[in-house]
Amino acid sequence: MRDRMSIEQELLRKAKDRSATFGVIGLGYVGLPLAVEIAGAGYRVLGFDVNPDVVGTVNSGASHIQDVSSERLASLVKDGRIAATGEMARLDEVDVISICVPTPLSKTKDPDVSYVLAVAESVTNTVRKGQVVVLESTTYPGTTRELLLPRLEVRGLRVGEDVFLAFSPERVDPGNKAWMTRNTPKVLGGVTKACRRVIAALYQPVFDQLVPVSSPEAAELVKLLENTFRSVNIGLANEMTIVCDKLGVDVWEVIEAAATKPFGFMKFTPGPGLGGHCIPIDPHYLAWKMRGLNYKTRFIEVAGEVNSEMPAFWVRKVAEELNADSKSVRGATVLVLGIAYKKDVDDLRESPALDVIRLLKHQGAVITYHDPHVPCFTDEGVVYESLDLTPEVLSTADCVVITTDHSKVNWAVVRDHARRVVDTRHVLEESLS
């Protein structure tokens, strides 16, 4: 028992004097900001990534993540506080392992935890007394206890005594300049009370506020509630769009007026659909888990149906606009304004703009696009290049469909030169009023 007490005490000391070393697995939009904040708090960080380009870029002090400045990363790399590697065997060098790998959906909309499992296999090969593991990737409730715990309790190691394990959801909002890794309250749920004590002590210098909860399942569900809340309310805003369209009422006027209610209302806005690597995906992790318990999470399913319907809704609006000029979609040139899944980011993952493009293309439209954050992309084997947003480009398009309301775009030029506009983001009204 003395030995086990000393393991916990040793980790608490390493938190206090910042001598603990952290391993961050997955140096993407979650892992790299986390690595920088951990190093900024005074710890040393060894980043792990399977992509050698990412490893090289980080070691050169250049950031490949929009929300992490290269200057800050470079100074931490120069000071030896951050380094990156692809060698998972080096996991035994670190005291704390924060896992920030993707948790996508499979083609059949089931959780794909293969990245977490791959990491768990590496960890199980190197885990040793005194190590701490924190899973940060959004996942279904039970993942931490069911997938990670047994892979740590090898070679006689006991979680909560020799090794420590928790779930702590990432809450990164890409592009958000107000709420970033350090100042966004950090939820954490330890498998045991000792796990919670140790991980809270290690994380405390990194985050302005910690929010300990009683179990990893509670922490896993906190994240799923947050993102399901968004998906359901965005779905409601989108359904109101369809309702108002059928009633000939301006949905934006209705939402703006409802948003004046000083209590009991939270504004969400309609859009071309639901994009990103989180909101369209995370709720389905919970739906999948509950199906296994013979329960249908109806809000998640219905929100998913409504949100997925929006690209087709807006394509019908484009067809109506072309119709007004006695044109059909077939052969019409449609300029798609904005490809990224939300404003002021360069990320295309699950972007509904891609669904709008596919639907229009399948109906015979000629697609051009402009996105100041996305110079080019390939979809369905076609390479697209962003056009300069000139009056010429705008006026030669038979219809412009605004799918992403990037701040950088000169919306006055769009208003003045586009012949027909379908504005899924209401940005022309909002930015030019």
Among 27, 234, 339, 354, binds ligand SAJ (CB under 6 A): 234
Helix 70-78 × helix 52-59 angle, to 10°: 80
Q: How far is CA 85 from CA 21, 42, 170, in A?
A: 14, 20, 22
The residue within the footprint of ligand SAJ, chosen from 81, 230, 406, 426 (CB under 6 A), is: 230
Binding mask 96-135 for ligand SAJ (x = CB under 6 A): ----------------------------------------
Sheet containing 399-402: order of strands: 366-370, 333-337, 399-402, 421-423
Known catalytic residues? 278
Q: Which residues of 210-234 are buried (b: 16+ CB within 10 A; e: fewer)?
A: bebbebbbebbbbbbebbbbbbbeb
Contact positions with ligand SAJ (CB under 6 A) in 270-329: 271, 274-276, 278-279, 282
Part of the chain binding ligand SAJ (CB under 6 A), chosen from 32-40, 189-197, 224-232, 365-373: 224-232
Stretch that binds ligand SAJ, among 61-69, 254-262, 264-272, 320-328 (CB under 6 A): 264-272
The reply on whether position 342 binds ligand SAJ by CB under 6 A is: yes
Classify the C-alpha dihedral 255-309-368-417 as positive or negative. negative
Nearer to ligand SAJ (CB atom), residue 73 or residue 234: 234
What DSSP character marks residue 371?
A: -
In the complex, what is the shortest distance from the CB of residue 402 to ligand SAJ, in angstroms, rounded to a whole number? 12
- In the complex, what is the shortest distance from the CB of residue 155 to ligand SAJ, in angstroms, rounded to a whole number? 34
Measured CA to CA in angstroms, residue 45 lies from 27, 37, 303, 365, 393 at distances of 12, 10, 40, 50, 48
Please identify, using beta-carbon distances, which residue of 341 and 411 lies nearer to ligand SAJ: 341
Smallest separation (angstroms) from ligand SAJ to the CB of 220: 13
Asked if 249 and 263 count as a contact pair (C-beta separation under 8 A), the reply is no
Question: What angle, 0 to 180 degrees and rounded to 10, lies between the N-to-C axes of helices 282-291 and 298-324?
Answer: 140
Q: Whole-angstrom distance between the N-terminal and C-terminal Cα of the chain?
A: 69
Q: State the minimum distance, in angstroms, from the CB of residue 311 to ligand SAJ.
A: 12
Q: Minimum distance between the CB of residue 258 and ligand SAJ, rounded to whole angstroms? A: 13
Q: How far apart are CA 70 and CA 77, in angstroms?
A: 10
**Judged by CB under 6 A, which stretch of 39-47, 239-247, 248-256, 265-273 contacts ligand SAJ?**
265-273
User: What residues are paired with 368 via a beta bridge?
Assistant: 335
Identity of the residue, 86 or 175, whose beta carbon is nearer to ligand SAJ in the bound complex: 175
Which residues bind to ligand SAJ, rule: CB under 6 A?
A: 138, 170-174, 226-227, 230, 234, 237, 268-269, 271, 274-276, 278-279, 282, 341-342
